Amino acid sequence: MSLFRRIFLLNATVLCAAAALLLLGPVTVSTPVVLTEALILTAGLIAMLVANAALLRVGLAPLQRLTRAMTTTDLLHPGRRPVVAGQGEVAELISTFNTMLDRLEAERAASTAVALSAQEDERHRIAQELHDEIGQTLTAVLLELKHVADHAPPLLRSQLRQVQETTRGSLDEIRRIARRLRPGVLEELGLTTALTALTHETTSHAGITVSRHFDQELPQLSHETELVIYRVAQESLTNIVRHAAAHRVNISLGADATGLHLRITDDGKGLGAAREGAGIRGMRERALLIGARLTLNQRPGNGTEVHLRVPAPQRSH
């Protein structure tokens, strides 16, 4: 039972008991009860109940708004704070809740930044080990296989050539994984070139046609902002290849008066009723680190649109 209903029923019980005592008890206006007096008491009782309900509704309205805010608050979807209203403890409670949200969002942003930074460092380390150790080992194996195949009998040579191709394919896959873990092209050639290489590498083997539209003159961005844009695009394209069953993908990056916009749309089966997974939550957390906003929308018909808006592009240091 809500607080409003409990208080109202309590007050109504007291008022009804008082009215009953006046009508039926020894303390009455007249004995026996006169009809006009009963009507007057009944009307007064109704008026008191209505006034009591109205006053409680007005007094408890800030608490109802606070309750709605508590049930809908999501730190991955920052929204407006409930307005501080009411008197005394009610206003203090709402103000305390807003302060708590500010603290939680700041703490989450700080902890997320540390976690994502550690994740990027670990990706860098793994990519370096794949390239320097496993990659060089497989390269040496390829050279040895070639040397053995050149001096092997014809029948064995054919089998060794097949082993060579399998090893070469494994080496290419390891290099591709290393590039996804650490996008060196992003640091060396810039964001648009890195996005172009990413779309080609991610979708070429899946039979998906990609249309790219990148503004020629983008504002200068910090490395952190570029990395967030790249990772959001990477996760979006990965989800499309794995889950969307799409045939066409459009990716655009441009700037206008409201900020920088990355849009990725596909003609796949859409979001449906599926809950957001760890990949999308990770995208939202990355967006919050640079003050950006990520939205996912179901397109008319089929397909999904991922929109990342960076309201204030930062200059690189």
Query: Is 79 in the same domain as 194?
Result: no
**What's the domain range around 69?**
3-105
Question: Which residue, 57, 85, 105, sits at the end of a domain?
Answer: 105
pLDDT tens sequence for the chain (317 residues) = 566 676 777 778 777 877 776 677 665 566 676 777 778 778 877 877 887 787 777 777 888 888 888 887 777 777 678 888 766 777 788 888 888 888 887 787 777 777 777 877 787 888 778 777 888 888 888 888 888 888 888 878 888 888 888 888 888 888 878 777 777 778 778 888 889 888 888 777 778 888 999 988 888 888 888 888 998 998 898 888 888 888 889 999 998 888 899 999 998 887 766 667 778 888 888 888 888 888 888 876 678 889 999 876 544 44
Query: Is 199 in the same domain as 99?
Result: no
Q: Please indicate, yes or no, if residue 21 is contained in any of the structural domains.
A: yes
Task: Give the separation between CA 195 and CA 101, rounded to whole angstroms.
Answer: 36
Q: What is the pTM for the complete model shown? A: 0.66
Query: Is 188 in the same domain as 84?
Result: no
pLDDT at residue 24, rounded to an integer: 72
Per the structure, how many domains does the chain have? 2
Q: Please indicate, yes or no, if residue 169 is contained in any of the structural domains.
A: no
Q: Please indicate, yes or no, if residue 16 is contained in any of the structural domains.
A: yes
User: Residue 215's closest CA among 173, 179, 262?
Assistant: 262
Query: Is 203 in the same domain as 307?
Result: yes
Question: Which residue, 50, 77, 105, sits at the end of a domain?
Answer: 105
CATH code at position 254:
3.30.565.10
Query: Is 191 in the same domain as 304?
Result: yes
